[in-house]
Amino acid sequence: MVPRELFLPQVMWPSTGQGYITVSKTDDPEEWRRWADADVPIVTQWDDGHHIGTTPGKLATSSSSMPSAVFSMFADLSVTDGARVLEVGTGTGWCAALLSARLGEQNVVSVEVDETVAGCARKTLAAAGWHPEIVTGDGLLGRPDRAPYDRILVTVGVHEVPRAWIEQIRPGGVLVMPWGTRYSGQNAIACLTAAGDGSAGGHFTGATRFMHVRSQRLDWPEFDDYLPGEGWPADTRRSTTGLPAAQIVDESDYAASNFAVSLQIPECARTFARSPQGVQTIWLFGLGDLSWAAVFFDEDASADSRVYQGGPRSLWDEVEAAHRWWYGQGRPGHEEFGLTVTADGRQQVWLGEPSTLVPVR
């Protein structure tokens, strides 16, 4: 038994689904314990540790993941007695404790990039009676002197799978990680098996959201770089779309459609907004150039919505084509997609089987 509450700070910021709230164990121990036991993610650090005060900061940079997500990833990891495990992203130390309780602390090594977070985890683990190796360093490099590993558990999102992880896992070993493109904040859990030839591959097991490894965070585009000045640029291309907002932002399988689109348009970032009149808007920004698109969805679902695009790519046309492809494939969910990291480091996403690659636009 390894209670999560042993690894949570005195002041923490649980997610309510509508935002984050501040909860203090000193001020309200019952409320603190209620949130500690809740199946929600809890932020434990803001702004890479530069945050001051008790109100939520700007950017969540360390957290305790919701228990259901942790247990789902542990099920994917499928450890066996005596397995040697590398964890990337120590955080509070709770996952390292769970692994130590199952496998023995001598079989667990965890890497944390933030020195303060790592130090707190060591102290908390020791207070709880566990002493796995906690390393302060770049988790993308793994921990080569303890390799090979039977399992690697990654608890931060990545866009690019580092070679070190593939090299440090034994043939037949399993790598479980949140993976996604820069299109949106959504990830999916990838469960990859090392083939022994420098490659690894496997299916995604479900949708998730994790904060990303610091060196792979999206450097969010500056709006004025794409649309300088006031009004639409002279070369703006205007059109309409019959694709309703419901199929983009709130349909029942939105997570699956969003993921499928993101796989096809990886070099694009998307965000939502509302006009002063309350009109739902989507903005798209090309990451390799200054392409952009804006779609103002008409509240009347039967009416076409306004589309504005600029730059060398027509990003909204690409999104529409990606949605059509997804519908044409029968609206597949996350579990029907998979990821292969080839021996030369290429990432290939596929549908159904590795030979059926997802088109990249």
Percent pLDDT > 90 in the chain is 83
Q: Which tokens in the block code for residue 44?
A: 């434990």
What is the DSSP code (8-state) at residue 159? Answer: S
Q: Which tokens in the block code for residue 191?
A: 């469960």
| Spatial CA neighbour of 245 closest among 292, 293, 304 | 304
Query: By 3-state DSSP, what share of the chain in percent is helix, strand and coil, each rounded to 5?
Result: 30, 30, 40
Indicate whether 348 pLDDT > 60: yes
Indicate whether 316 pLDDT > 70: yes
Cβ pair 138, 70 in contact under 8 A: no
- Domains along the sequence of the chain with CATH: 4-64 (no CATH), 67-216 (3.40.50.150), 223-328 (3.30.310)
| Spatial CA neighbour of 95 closest among 118, 65, 122, 68 | 65
Quick: pLDDT tens for 130-179.
999 999 999 999 999 999 999 999 999 999 999 999 999 999 999 999 99
In this prediction, residues 258-286 reach a mean pLDDT of 87
Report the 10 Å Cβ neighbour count for 212.
17
In this prediction, residues 323-348 reach a mean pLDDT of 95
Task: Give CA–CA dist 282/269, Å, rounded.
Answer: 11
Indicate whether 103 pLDDT > 60: yes
Cβ pair 48, 61 in contact under 8 A: yes
Cβ pair 222, 203 in contact under 8 A: no
Task: Give CA–CA dist 80/32, Å, rounded.
Answer: 35
pLDDT band at 272 (very low <50, low <70, confident <90, very high): confident
Q: Which tokens in the block code for residue 230?
A: 């006031």
Report the 10 Å Cβ neighbour count for 45.
24
Indicate whether 300 pLDDT > 90: no
- DSSP alpha helices (H): ranges in the chain? 29-36, 67-77, 94-103, 115-128, 163-167, 223-226, 254-264, 315-328
pLDDT band at 313 (very low <50, low <70, confident <90, very high): very high
Quick: pLDDT tens for 108-138.
999 999 999 999 999 999 999 999 999 999 9
What is the DSSP code (8-state) at residue 24? Answer: E
Predicted pLDDT at 297: 81
In this prediction, residues 259-274 reach a mean pLDDT of 91
pLDDT band at 53 (very low <50, low <70, confident <90, very high): very high
In this prediction, residues 320-335 reach a mean pLDDT of 94
pLDDT band at 246 (very low <50, low <70, confident <90, very high): low
Task: Give CA–CA dist 287/221, Å, rounded.
Answer: 8
Predicted pLDDT at 255: 82
Cβ pair 280, 272 in contact under 8 A: yes
pLDDT band at 248 (very low <50, low <70, confident <90, very high): low
Q: What is the DSSP string of 176-231?
A: EEEE--SSSS-EEEEEEEE-SSS-EEEEEEEEE--PBPGGG---PPPHHHHS-SSS
In this prediction, residues 276-285 reach a mean pLDDT of 82
| Catalytic positions, written as ranges | 62
What's the whole-model pTM score? 0.93
In this prediction, residues 2-10 reach a mean pLDDT of 96
pLDDT band at 328 (very low <50, low <70, confident <90, very high): very high
Q: Which tokens in the block code for residue 129?
A: 């009676």
For the chain, give the mean pLDDT.
Answer: 93
Quick: pLDDT tens for 182-226.
998 888 999 999 998 999 999 999 999 899 999 998 888 899 999
| Spatial CA neighbour of 133 closest among 101, 106, 167 | 106
Q: Which tokens in the block code for residue 316?
A: 């909204």
